[in-house]
A and B are shown apart, each in its own frame.
Chain A
């Protein structure tokens, strides 16, 4: 690349970085400013830390813990189901069948989240065709709608398509020579999987977990439609406060959630880099 070309690309890079910095960084700074401002009936007032003091003494810490717990549990379950599914897909001898299943998964990801969740509500409810199954499975004889288990199950159809594709890519990247070497050295199928295949897939597993976790933590739709008023997460609390123009508290809660999320992303990136070494 000559000096003129280099200069062009320096401008392109600087322009793009500036675009992201201004349109992503500036709103976050404004969010921080809003979180430090008291709002009375939607009208901004004095600066201070009263919003943070208020949210720490409110139901928010419990909602945040619930969000993080739900996110972790749902992501682990999604990861486990994806791993099982990918192992099955990988064992299919006909490549066309593999492609058909993977393509269906990838396509289902774009199927529209709200209508799908709304339809899933029907399957979990007392009015749906699964009524008998839920009544015989659950101790109280009730439906899964408005229960924690129902929310967990309702997240799976949304997260599984993306997670399966990510895990499949990670599984396909495991060199077959490694698997063969482990088998030649006398490792059983289980040992090969746990000591060779899974550790090699680690970056993909972390990405799959991270994407699922962030989707759950930031989501308001599934919890609202399937969880009703019984399950209240941090994202739902922020959403509800924004609905009633309580901007100061909503922003303070958003800042706390953002810190948690950025910490989580940082740890994940560090873990990915460590596993790639």
Chain B
């Protein structure tokens, strides 16, 4: 059903009371993002009020800061490898769980989701010892591996839910015609849920990109972006960090928006 186009004032008049309820939460969510954006354009090095004036100098400095750019690149590398590996492991596992009897599938899924919900500080500390044993401690490989362990269950859960919605008739037909299980997974199942797979990849990439504590424990001198920012905050208060925060937030929000568009359709969100 189509809705007639109305002005912003008319929308406010019709939805005024309903819009007031989420307002406190929305203001709280937007406040730090807005403050970060304003501070990145501040002409003063230290945050102050009244407003000292506008400047884009921190964005210019950001482009010439090699250490920061290096950390951003390392984060991209870790994020892409963690997301790709999580997808390669999580997709077959999600499909396998979805084709088990419902009760067994749900119970196993709950059990396999534990790594994603246990506080990362506990896993980070324990994974440091484990990576030392494997002789990969203080490397980006260790960071990627740690992220795969904690973010893979998210992909598995997403794939499980999408695969449960699929009709198994197509898979059975392909099996009857002699298709191998991997071909069924790739062409029949993957072909139907590719948007969800792409969304899962993006979600893991963005989460891995922003993950601090596991990376802090196992990254050593090859610091990822959140570790670099956290360490920088201990020694300096440069608005360059706000500028980098704005750029990264824009990229992450863009990717998150894309994954939401892929994961959901208009009808699913509207609560019908």
Report A's interface with B, CB cutoff 8 A: 1-2, 4-5, 8-9, 12-13, 16-17, 19-20, 23-24, 26-28, 30-31, 34, 81-82, 84-99, 101-120, 122-123, 125, 127-129, 131, 153, 156-157, 160-161, 164, 168, 171-172, 210-211, 214-215, 217-221, 225, 235, 238-239, 242, 247, 250-251, 254, 257-258, 261-262, 265, 269
Report B's interface with A, CB cutoff 8 A: 3, 11, 14-15, 17-26, 28-33, 35-36, 39, 46-49, 89, 92-93, 96-97, 99, 108, 110, 112, 114-115, 117-123, 125-127, 129-130, 133, 145, 148-149, 152-153, 156, 175, 181-182, 206-207, 210, 212-213, 217, 226, 229-230, 233, 241-242, 244-246, 248-249, 252-253, 255-257, 260, 266, 269-271
**A127 engages B181 (CB within 8 Å):** no
What residue of chain A has the Cβ atom nearest to residue B100's Cβ?
A13
**B126 engages A31 (CB within 8 Å):** yes
**B181 engages A8 (CB within 8 Å):** yes
Residues of B within 8 A of A128 (CB): 35, 47, 49
**A254 engages B24 (CB within 8 Å):** no
The 3 nearest A-B residue pairs measured at CB: A218-B119, A88-B21, A115-B245
Known contacts A9-B96, A105-B29, A172-B271; A218 and B122 CB within 8 A of each other: yes
**B11 engages A97 (CB within 8 Å):** yes
Residues of B within 8 A of A129 (CB): 49
Q: Which of A112, A114, A128, A265 has the most CB of B within 10 A?
A: A112
**A156 engages B28 (CB within 8 Å):** yes
- Which of A27, A31, A115 is the one whose CB lies under 8 Å from B248? A115
Residues of A within 8 A of B266 (CB): 95, 99
- Which of B29, B49, B149, B213 is the one whose CB lies under 8 Å from A161? B29
Closest beta carbon of chain B to A159's beta carbon, Å: 10
Bound state CA distance, A6 and B137, in angstroms?
Answer: 38
Bound state CA distance, A110 and B210, in angstroms?
Answer: 8
- Which of B11, B20, B21, B260 is the one whose CB lies under 8 Å from A103? B260
Bound state CA distance, A86 and B246, in angstroms?
Answer: 28
Residues of A within 8 A of B207 (CB): 110
**A157 engages B122 (CB within 8 Å):** no
Closest beta carbon of chain A to B28's beta carbon, Å: 5
**B149 engages A20 (CB within 8 Å):** yes
**A108 engages B130 (CB within 8 Å):** no
Residues of B within 8 A of A171 (CB): 271
**A93 engages B15 (CB within 8 Å):** yes
Could you name 16 residue pairs across A and B whose Cβ atoms are closer than 8 Å? A12-B92, A20-B115, A88-B23, A89-B22, A102-B269, A103-B269, A112-B252, A119-B33, A119-B242, A120-B31, A120-B35, A157-B31, A219-B119, A220-B213, A254-B121, A258-B122
Bound state CA distance, A31 and B119, in angstroms?
Answer: 14
Bound state CA distance, A191 and B204, in angstroms?
Answer: 41
Residues of A within 8 A of B149 (CB): 20, 23-24
**A218 engages B245 (CB within 8 Å):** no
Judged by DSSP, the binding face of A is helix
What residue of chain B has the Cβ atom nearest to residue A225's Cβ?
B233
Residues of B within 8 A of A239 (CB): 121, 213
Closest beta carbon of chain B to A82's beta carbon, Å: 7
Bound state CA distance, A57 and B249, in angstroms?
Answer: 43
**A101 engages B22 (CB within 8 Å):** yes
Residues of A within 8 A of B26 (CB): 85, 101, 104-105
**A13 engages B28 (CB within 8 Å):** no
Known contacts A84-B22, A105-B29, A164-B25; A116 and B245 CB within 8 A of each other: yes
Q: Which of B22, B33, B246, B256 has the most CB of A within 10 A?
A: B22
Residues of A within 8 A of B246 (CB): 115
Closest beta carbon of chain A to B73's beta carbon, Å: 16
What residue of chain A has the Cβ atom nearest to residue B243's Cβ?
A115
**A90 engages B271 (CB within 8 Å):** yes
Residues of A within 8 A of B248 (CB): 112, 115
**A30 engages B126 (CB within 8 Å):** yes
| 18 new A-B contacts at CB < 8 Å, known A104-B26, A238-B125 | A16-B156, A31-B129, A84-B21, A91-B17, A92-B19, A98-B269, A99-B269, A99-B270, A105-B25, A110-B210, A116-B249, A118-B36, A164-B25, A168-B271, A218-B213, A254-B121, A254-B126, A262-B118
